[in-house]
Every structure is written in C-alpha cells, then in structure tokens.
Amino acid sequence: MGRSERRFPLRLDVQRGAVDMTHGSGGRAMAQLVDELFKRHLDNDLLRQGNDQALFLPPPGRLVISTDGHVISPVFFPGGDIGCLSVHGTINDVAMAGARPLYLAAGFILEEGLPLADLARVVESMARAANAAGVPVVTGDTKVVERGKADGVFVTTTGVGVVPDGVTISGDLARPGDRILVSGSMGDHGVAVMSKRENLGFETEIESDTAALHGLVAAMVEAVPGIHCLRDPTRGGLATTLNELAQQSGVGMEIRESAIPVHPEVVAACELLGLDPLYVANEGKLVAICAPEDAEPLLRAMHSHPLGIGAAIIGEATEDPHQFVQMETGFGGQRIVDWLAGEQLPRIC
C-alpha cells in the first residue's frame, strides 16, 4: 500500500491520546477511532459489512432481545472491567430465557478527555469476552459528550438470541412447592467493586464473578427442559431477584440462610460496611426455579458445569397471598427478606 493510499496518515495515538469532541463528530477522526480501535479489536464478518446495521438470516426458533446500559464506577475493578461486564451482562439477560445468544450490538458514550489507552483496554476486554462466549459484537455506535457530562465511558449493549423449541422459561411460572436454586456464591461482584471505590478502599481477595452464563444455561436446559424461571441476581442481589420472581409468579418463598453460599470474605466485608450479602450484586450467577422432582437433576447438571460448581438448593416457593420472601435465619429465627429500599451502592453495573 502506497503512502497516498492510507486513509489516516497518522495512526491513532492510543498510548498518549485522549478522546476529544471530534471523535464523536461523524467526521474523519471518528472514522479513524472506529477503524483503528473498535473494528480492529471486535473484528468479525458482520461488522466488516461496514454498514450502520448488521444483516443476517435468523436461525429457526423464537427470537429474544435484551438491552442493558453499563455505568459502573470504577471502570476497572478486580476480576473485570466495564468492557467484559457489558458483554456478560447482556448475554446473561438473553440466556435467562433459556436462549442461545447470537449477536450483540454496542453503544458507547465517551467523556471528552477519556484516555484512549483506557478505551482500548475496555474494547480489548469486550472483544476477549465476546470471542470466548462465541457471541460477536456486530454493530455499534459512538458518541462523545463534554467533560463532566459523563464519567469516562458508558456502554450499552443489546443482544439477540434464539430459544430452542420446547423451552418456556419465564418469571411468572414459579408454583408453590417449586425448588429455588442458586448457581454459586452471592455478593462477589458488589464487594469487589466496593473494595476499589476511593472512599472505601479496603483490602480483599475477592474478585468480581462477571461471566457469561449461556453455557451453564444450555447444560441446565438440556438436563431439565422444563425449568420454570431463570434470572441473574445483579443489582439488588439475590433478595431483590427473589422478590421480583415472587411477585411476578404470585407466590411466596421460604429460604434457608444456612443454605445460601457466600464467601467468608464477602461476609466479612459486608459486616464491616453494614451491608447484607443478600442485597449485593452478582454478575456471573443465576437463580433457577423448577418443579420439586427436577431439583436434584438440575443441581447435578449445574454442578457438572464450571460456573455451577457452587450451586445449591436454597429453599422453595410457597402459597402466600402477601408474596413474602421469608427466611429461616442462621440463628434459628424467621424474618422477611424484603425488596431493597433506597440505594445500597450506586453504579454497581
């Protein structure tokens, strides 16, 4: 290629450069950012079509679509960053319908002054996560806002997937007597992020559990196609997710505190901060509800997948017109596990 044929004579200075308003202007600077940063890392056939949309033939089956905005602070945290989180988060939302995720779209809102090195790190992380999951980012958008109007980078991802025939999973299908399972330890993500907040800054070994759960879901659906509900307990933690499902299905729930897996480090951090691990966010865990006779086969299927090794049956759905989620405490008493009131921790995902 001759000198005159180069589209951008000077390469983007990813080491020392920063996002400025021209990167969102629609002009040459933006085209260069898209080419040398986004396309370079996220490269795939559909993205290479180079259009404002990706064109593909949907496979047979029912399609699902989900979208998720990510505003986490800090952008980089133990065990992950906003890049992989935005891939995992949306894949998980799609997968919770029992679906096989196909493609992602990504919208970036960048704050003027964001170091290009940080942006590159985020995009590389997205690319790694998307490759590992086998769910490519096939279209996207970039906007830049003035300094102070955002906080570094916000990422919105949208995912589409297809649900296999014979699978119907929905939050309104829990029935009294159904068993409630979780795929592993609760609260890791929230505690990992909190440990890096500048005004908290405590030492912990805990890393975010951020992970794409569609592989685990596929194994679960194969073992028990009749799973009733699946949901990932992100913001608001397990407590909030159980309350959502109880309300949607019109049932109560009875769980046992001693059966809920929580890492001792998470318990310790929560003790220190006055938080309850049941309300702390997860990004690589799911809650499943199934008929009582399916519980053991489902648990075995979860245990045989790397992301479900810590799975446990934590309780059951009950008949309760008040739709209370109640818990037998480790101490031997009884209490409600209520909806989260107020804001426990802003910008956790």
Partner 1 sequence: MKYVDDFRDQSLARRLARALAAEAEQGREYRLMEFCGGHTHAIFRYGVQDLMPANVRFVHGPGCPVCVLPTARIDQAIALTESHGVTLCTYADLMRVPGGDRRSLLKAKAQGADVRMVYSTQDALALARANPGRRVVFFAIGFETTTPPTAVALRQARAEELANFSVFCNHVLTPPALRTILASDAPDAVSIDGILGPSHVSTVIGSRPYEFVPRDFAKPVVIAGFEPLDVMQSALMLVRQLNERRCEVENQYTRAVTPEGNRKAQALMDETFALRESFEWRGLGRLPCSALRIADTYSKLDAERRFPVGLGESRQVKGCECPSILRGVKRPTDCKLFGTACTPENPMGSCMVSSEGACAAYWTYGRFRALQATEPGRAA
Residue ranges in contact with partner 1 by CB under 8 A: 199-200, 264, 267-268, 271, 273-274, 322, 324, 326, 328-336, 338, 341-343
Asked if residues 103 and 138 have their Cβ atoms less than 8 Å apart, the reply is yes
Choice between 2 and 333, CB closer to partner 1? 333
- The two tokens of residue 261 are 């897996």
- The two tokens of residue 164 are 């296999």
123 CB neighbour count, 10 Å cutoff:
23
Any residues with CB less than 8 A from the CB of 237 and at least 6 apart, and which?
Answer: 186, 187, 190, 277, 278, 279, 280, 281, 282, 340
Output the smallest distance, CB 283 to partner 1, in A: 23
Output the smallest distance, CB 345 to partner 1, in A: 10
Output the smallest distance, CB 222 to partner 1, in A: 38
Choice between 166 and 274, CB closer to partner 1? 274
Q: Coil, helix or strand for 246?
A: helix
Choice between 21 and 272, CB closer to partner 1? 272
Query: Which candidate, 73, 146, 83, places its Cα nearest to that of 113?
Result: 146
Choice between 200 and 309, CB closer to partner 1? 200
Output the smallest distance, CB 324 to partner 1, in A: 5
Output the smallest distance, CB 291 to partner 1, in A: 24
- The owner of tokens 């992301």 is 307
Output the smallest distance, CB 194 to partner 1, in A: 10
Choice between 108 and 324, CB closer to partner 1? 324
Q: Coil, helix or strand for 42?
A: helix
Output the smallest distance, CB 73 to partner 1, in A: 14
Q: Find the helix packing angle between 82-95 and 214-223, rounded to 10°.
A: 20
Which run of H or of E encompasses 77? strand 76-77
Output the smallest distance, CB 269 to partner 1, in A: 10
Choice between 90 and 344, CB closer to partner 1? 344
Query: Which candidate, 347, 218, 219, places its Cα nearest to that of 281?
Result: 347
Q: Helical H runs in the chain?
A: 28-33, 40-42, 45-48, 82-95, 116-133, 188-194, 214-223, 237-249, 264-273, 295-303
Choice between 60 and 264, CB closer to partner 1? 264
Choice between 21 and 200, CB closer to partner 1? 200
Phi, psi of 48, rounded to the nearest 5 degrees: -70, -15
